[in-house]
Amino acid sequence: MVEAKEAVLMDSKEAVMKVENLRKYFMIRRSFGEFITGKPPRYVKAVDGVSFAIKPKEVFALVGESGCGKTTTGKLIVKLLRPSGGRIYFNGTDVTELSTEEEIEYRKRVQIIFQDPYSSLDPRFRVYDILEEPLLITKVGETKAERRELIYKALEEVRLVPQEEFIGRFPHQLSGGQRQRVAIARALILNPEFLVADEPVSMLDLSIRAEILELMRELKERHGLTYLYITHDLSTARFFCDRIAVMYLGKIVELATSDRLIENPVHPYTKALLIAVPEPDPSQRHVMKEIPIIGEVPSAVNIPPGCRFHPRCPYRFEPCDKEEPELIEVEPDHYVACHLVSKK
């Protein structure tokens, strides 16, 4: 078991971001009655033992269905949430416990972009104020002129030029794509090394989506950024990412390079996901898609014992509902957590 974990983290020395057995349980609020009768609290196990390591300049995708814990993982990494267990290493140093100064430094170097371009910008702030906020908070840019220069530079990075035209606008005076670019500019303005992009394009129109993805790629090249790209969309993950980790109910079930994962999926869940992805090809319209799995994701409160996927798995067999499968390397750099590979 230890071996398997080591395997995933094999390249931990050169990793920019490494998480080890990361866990986040949210306590469900008990009603007063439950509290009085001493009912034990129940937990949403949003993230339940996740490990991975992201190499420098890599784009690492975390893919999975709604509620599997992707956003929670992202927020744990940028320290918007405090983990219930596990460790996070940034460039080799443990960042779960940091002094105040260290934390300020860490926050400058690790940034996040949110999914919804409508709620990620304060409607009462002008673009200029939105971009100035992180500078003021972290006290980067001592004079007004310095800050102004940084803001202009960030706007240029995301191609909102001429800057004069945009700095005075309120978010509602921007299109969805422009908003998302402002959000990216805000994440970039502190010159971070590592970006968590939480479904940055899923709320955008198709035509704009491509533009933002291209922009993010360009920024990566220019600044040597490393990304954790969170998405539920395997197609954009394939396009944008070097490696993909598939999450199910708070755990990674398969991890491989993008091409291998899509060409040679091993885990039954990954297979099902891949089959379900629609393609712009009308020739299949008269045939039903064979989706090998049934039902929907159960709630993260009642996680099934053994392999958490077993109630929906068409291949399940004897150990599946008892033992939890560990991540096993099935081919170089391709890890799968399934008894089909570990027990058969």
Partner 1 sequence: MRWSDFVESLKDFWFEYKRQKIGMLGLAILLFFIGLAIVGPRFYPAEMSRKWRDVTYWQNYPRSARPSWINYFSSHKMPPHLIIAEYEVSERMIGANIREYVATFNYDHEYDEPPSDLILTFRRQVADPTKPPTMTFVLLRPDGREIELISKKLSEAGNQTRIVITSDRGALSTAYAFGREFETPENLEKVHFELTNPALPLFSKAQPGILLGNEAEPLKGTYTIRVTFYFQNPEDKIEDLTLIIGGRVYGLLGTDENRRDLFAGLIWGTRVSLLIGILTSVLSVFFGIFYGVMSAYLGGWKDEILQRIYEIMSSIPTLPILILLSAIYKPSIWWIIFFLVVFGWMGTSRMARSMAYQIKEMDYVEAARAVGASGFWIVRKHVMPQILPYAFASMALSVPSAILTEAGLSFLGLGDINRVTWGQILHDAQSTAATIKGMWWWVLPPGLAMALLGLSFAFIGAALNTILFPKLKTL
Partner 2 sequence: MPLLEVKDLKAYYFISRGAVKAVDNVSIDLEKGESLGLAGESGCGKSTLGFALMNMLPPPGRVVAGSIKIDGQEIVGMKEDELRKRIRWQEIAMIFQGAMNVLNPVYTVGYQVAEPLIYHKGMGKKEAIEEAKKYLELVGLDPNIVNRYPHELSGGMKQRAVIATALIMSPKVLIADEPTTALDVIVQAQIINLLKELKRKLGLSIIIISHDLSVISELADRLAIMYAGKIVELGPSDSVYSDPVHPYTKALLNAIPRLRKKQERLEFIPGAPPNLLSPPPGCRIHPRCPYRFEPCDKEEPELVEVRPGHFVACHLYTRR
Ligand X SMILES: Nc1ncnc2c1ncn2[C@@H]1O[C@H](COP(=O)(O)OP(=O)(O)OP(=O)(O)O)[C@@H](O)[C@H]1O
Which residues of this protein are in contact with ligand X, per CB under 6 A?
26, 44, 46, 64, 66-72, 232, 300
CA distance 235 to 14: 28
Q: What is the C-alpha R_g of the chain? A: 21
Binding mask 183-202 for partner 1 (x = CB under 8 A): x--xx--x------------
Residues 6+ apart with CB under 8 A from 92: 13, 15
Q: For residues 119 and 284, which CB has a smaller minimum distance to partner 1 in the complex?
A: 119
- Residue 254 backbone dihedrals phi, psi, to 5 degrees: -155, 145
Say if CB 131 and CB 151 are below 8 A apart.
yes
- Based on DSSP, count helices (H) and strands (E) in the chain, helices before strands: 13, 12
Q: Which two tokens stand for residue 97?
A: 């416990």
- Nearest CA to 260 out of 288, 241, 280, 233 is that of 241
State the DSSP code for 319: G
Of 88-117, which residues contact partner 1 (CB under 8 A)? 103-104, 107-108, 111-112, 114-116
Among 34, 65, 133, 233, binds partner 1 (CB under 8 A): 133
Residues 6+ apart with CB under 8 A from 183: 113, 114, 117, 120, 121, 200
Asked if 339 interacts with ligand SF4 (CB under 6 A), we say yes
Q: At closest approach, how far in Å is the CB of 274 from partner 1?
A: 30
Asked if 201 interacts with ligand SF4 (CB under 6 A), we say no
Among 11, 14, 41, 80, binds partner 1 (CB under 8 A): 80
Among 22, 58, 62, 71, binds Mg ion (CB under 5 A): 71
> In Å, how far are 3, 63, 64, 308, 344 from 247, measured between CA atoms?
21, 6, 5, 11, 23
Q: Which positions touch partner 2 (CB under 8 A)?
A: 65-66, 175-178, 205-211, 213-214, 232-236, 238-240, 259, 262, 272-286, 288-289, 291, 293, 296-297
Amino acid identity at 88:
I
Asked if 340 interacts with ligand SF4 (CB under 6 A), we say yes
80 binds, among partner 1, ligand SF4, ligand X, none (CB under 5 to 8 A by kind): partner 1
297 binds, among partner 2, partner 1, ligand X, none (CB under 5 to 8 A by kind): partner 2
3-state secondary structure of 70: helix
Q: For residues 95 and 266, which CB has a smaller minimum distance to partner 2 in the complex?
A: 266
| Residues in touch with partner 1 (CB under 8 A) | 75, 78-80, 103-104, 107-108, 111-112, 114-116, 119-126, 129-130, 133-134, 137-138, 172, 183, 186-187, 190
